[in-house]
Chain A
């Protein structure tokens, strides 16, 4: 490494520290302060740490609403991802293997799904008609519908790299299409599946807009909605507001630490293909 690269690196790290790291440090510091100390945001660590007390206060707000919110968000995320992975892989598989007019037309439908904003109020009307408005399973189906575009495109491009010989060998062995898909293809898709799970889990967990429209009601709160709702209550207690922000930042941080490579792969592939 040349001296120029060292100096440039140090300067860049200093700038990145101010722009990207300090805001998060502020969150951590403020989340550990007393309400009075937190009223003036500054760059000093707390004089009196009351991290645990603040954590308990936030969790207890409105009858442990945050715990309910974590539960709901988890149910939605897990349910939607199960559907996305299985159904999305099936579509990507057939689309890639069978090059017909139908699958080519579908490709453009999938692309448009990535681009078009959902028609929210008509969707609410539809959900009401089929009794899925304000239900977790309705929300799961919505997240599947909105996430399919990304998932299908990623699977389709990945399946292109799997040699057809493998399917053909299985066909000759007399496997049914379902057996071939579940026993031969799906296991081979594991790397891209991990990517899809991680990227979509973050997107669905962080989603605010769609639960806001489709999942109103105190019993249906999700993590992002709780954060938004609590801000009015925490307006004079910045320590609690920032503790709440911190609690919501931890899950993606953990995911980022453990799945950094998959996220990077997924985001770039999704970006370049989409």
Chain B
């Protein structure tokens, strides 16, 4: 008789059931519901109508574009600034650990709180930012009211809030690089700049992969910060997929909202999976 395993599969059951019921079932169901006209009263089959709507309606399509712009912009900035900050904060400068805490703290603060705070700070005439700019003679822009600036303003706040996490991951990554590499580079006569590009950047690649992927996923899914700061406005200037999904839900177009959800799902899968494979392969090549 086979001995019962001391690691029984039923240990997986409680978590597995919760995960399956509350995550997998709705995810699978979303593919069906995205093909319907759906409201609280009924769901009528609609074929691909909702998807067609998404790509033919200018403001819905704009939401998809904005999502990509936002994700790439924030992910890029967090990667670059995170690495630079991490190098700075591991160089043994005065107040290093205090600085690490200060940069990291916004990661823990409520996004809604940060959003509302910056909404006030970015007020075109009474906000602290423009008041400060005016004091040095600069006429500050309408950070959130200028349609070509609103999305970028929210992205900057997202970087302000999230760069601490990227920095933290990079600091952990830098700690794994053996000092011998820098020693060898110095003996070869490499400048600090060359050391950074030839030693630090290649060897910190696993951390870079993590930062890029985490911040891309976060950027693609972002809802709360945009909703607190602009609700997608002015007009549709800062609408992203997640805010579009919420608006369609509020309007009672549940099927259309769910189609947006499926599009977001596919967008993340199509972007992240190949990117993760690509980045990991380059890592293995080294």
Contact = CB atoms under 8 A, between A and B. Distances in A.
**Any A–B CB pair closer than 8 Å:** yes
5 contacts: A9-B96, A98-B5, A114-B217, A208-B111, A274-B214
Nearest to A203: B108
B126 A125 contact: no
Nearest to A143: B22
A116 B26 CA distance: 12
B284 interface: no
Contact of A87 (B18, B118, B272): B18
Contacts of A98: 5, 7, 9
The bracket for how many chain B residues form the interface is 35 or more
Chain A contact-residue range equals: 35 or more
Nearest to A16: B102
Contact of B223 (A12, A177, A209, A227): A209
Contacts, number: 259
B135 to A, nearest CB: 10
B264 to A, nearest CB: 5
A94 B11 contact: yes
Interface stretch (B53-61, B68-76, B164-172, B179-187): B164-172
Given A23-B121, A126-B21, A206-B109, 16 more contacts: A5-B92, A5-B93, A6-B94, A42-B128, A116-B268, A117-B242, A118-B27, A120-B261, A121-B30, A121-B38, A122-B33, A245-B110, A248-B113, A249-B113, A264-B168, A274-B210
A267 interface: yes
B207 A272 contact: yes
A144 B20 CA distance: 11
A148 B18 CA distance: 9
Contacts of B172: 268, 271-272
A47 interface: no
Interface of A: 1, 5-6, 8-10, 12-13, 16, 19-21, 23, 26-27, 39-43, 83, 86-88, 90-91, 93-95, 97-98, 102, 106, 109, 113-123, 125-126, 141-142, 144-146, 148, 152, 167, 171, 177, 180-181, 202, 205-206, 208-209, 212-213, 223-224, 227-228, 231, 238, 241-242, 245, 248-249, 252-253, 255-256, 260, 263-264, 267-268, 271-272, 274
